[in-house]
């Protein structure tokens, strides 16, 4: 049994920005033109990367991937 982690507003924002980035990258891979493995990287808008960077910095999680991924694992969206 896992328990939900209670996040600060800044931590929640960082997790949400990370999840948006993850979904954007996945969508880029799904829609990349050409056959799989053609060497074409997915295009991720710089604004999505910048949003994630700003959110991580505001939450004090820059350079602390272990703590950040612990928060991602424990986070559950509000119903």
- Reply yes or no on whether the pLDDT at 79 is more than 60: no
- Tell me whether residue 48 is exposed, middle or buried, using C-beta atoms within 10 angstroms of its C-beta: 0 to 12, 13 to 18, 19 or more: middle
Domain boundaries, the chain: 9-32+43-74
The pLDDT tens digits for 14-47 are 888 888 888 887 877 776 555 555 666 667 778 8
**Residue 24 to residue 29: CA distance in whole angstroms:** 9
Whole-number pLDDT of residue 32: 59
**Residue 48 to residue 44: CA distance in whole angstroms:** 7
Confidence band (pLDDT; 50, 70, 90) for 1?
very low
Write out the two tokens for 6. Answer: 């209670």
Confidence band (pLDDT; 50, 70, 90) for 49?
confident
- Reply yes or no on whether the pLDDT at 62 is more than 50: yes
């Amino acid at each position: 049994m896992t328990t939900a982690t209670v996040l600060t507003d800044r931590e929640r924002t960082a997790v949400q920005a990370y999840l948006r980035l993850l979904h954007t990258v996945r969508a880029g891979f799904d829609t990349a033109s050409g056959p799989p493995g053609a060497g074409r990287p997915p295009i991720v808008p710089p604004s999505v990367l910048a949003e994630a960077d700003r959110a991580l910095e505001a939450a004090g999680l820059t350079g602390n991937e272990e703590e950040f991924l612990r928060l991602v694992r424990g986070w559950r969206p509000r119903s």
